[in-house]
Amino acid sequence: MTALPQGRTRRAALVTAICALAVTGATALTGCGGEDPDAGTNGVGKLPAAKIQARTRAAADGASAVRLSGTVVTSGRTYRLDMRLKSDGGTGSVTSEGGTFQLLRVGERLYLKADADFWTHADGSRGSAGKLDGKYVRVPQADPAYRKFSGFTDKDVLLDGLLTLHGALATAGRHEQAGTRTVRITGDKGAGGTLDVSLQGTPYPLRMVRAGDAGTLRFSDWNSDFTLTEPAPSETVDYGRQLPAS
């Protein structure tokens, strides 16, 4: 084998070192043989963090439907959510402090479905709990619970409240969520939350880690329509203007 001249050897070593640095920095340089991390993507990975955030918020706002799952910590209480949402309502489950209840909103009509334990009074008395076990209870709009629970079924309210990063925005490299390539943006170097945005197709948000250990959420089934159906009268209990105390 013919030996390379010393000058060519040094140049080759220098090119190798530069390419290694380029790969480490997730940057492809022409002639290094590395792959462009944005090849075949929607291109948002090339944008500054603030523009990525604006693009993903616009995509989320414009979507007709989404599935949201994960945890939200608020006022010292942890809620585990698994909700499917669209513009005219939503449905799914909420678990908090060991109890799980189902929510269904069709237009302005909100229903809550839970077992008898959910309706048991704080003093242990069961009252109407047996009658409400497994029934869809209509939540009156005048009841304070309506505003609290309807927020879990409102796509715009939930996304506005949850897709928020705090502090200075920055990008934090390429990642992957459920097989989809993403670019991650952060607030305050991660202390203000992190958001993974799809690099494939529409730049939808796919995973959110909220600031202050306030929960982790995943977003999927963007624009996948689903049917919201009112429960049958035989499955429904209507208390009029106020829910029973529980």
Q: Tens digit of pLDDT per residue, the chain (246 long)?
A: 444 445 555 555 544 444 444 334 444 444 455 677 788 899 999 999 999 999 999 999 999 999 999 999 988 899 999 999 999 999 999 998 878 999 999 999 999 999 988 887 655 556 677 888 999 999 998 888 898 899 999 999 999 989 999 999 999 999 999 999 999 999 999 999 999 999 999 999 999 999 999 999 999 999 999 999 999 999 999 876 556 555
Instruction: For residue 116, count CB atoms less than 10 angstroms from its CB and return exposed for 0-12, middle for 13-18, buried for 19 or more.
Output: middle
- pLDDT, position 26: 40
Identify the bridge partners of residue 167 per DSSP, sorted by sequence position: none
CA atoms within 13 A on the CB side of 99: 12
**Dist. CA 103–CA 182, nearest whole Å:** 31
| 226 three-state secondary structure | coil
- pLDDT, position 15: 43
The CA radius of gyration of the chain, in Å to the nearest whole number, is 25
Which residues have CB under 8 Å from 117's CB, separation 6+?
99, 129
| 219 three-state secondary structure | strand
Which residues have CB under 8 Å from 194's CB, separation 6+?
165, 172, 184, 185, 186, 187, 208, 209
- pLDDT, position 239: 72
Residue for token digits 């959110």?
Answer: 208
Instruction: For residue 193, count CB atoms less than 10 angstroms from its CB and return exposed for 0-12, middle for 13-18, buried for 19 or more.
Output: buried
CA atoms within 13 A on the CB side of 201: 8
- pLDDT, position 222: 98
Beta-sheet pairing, 109-113 with 65-74: unpaired
H or E element at residue 209? strand 205-209
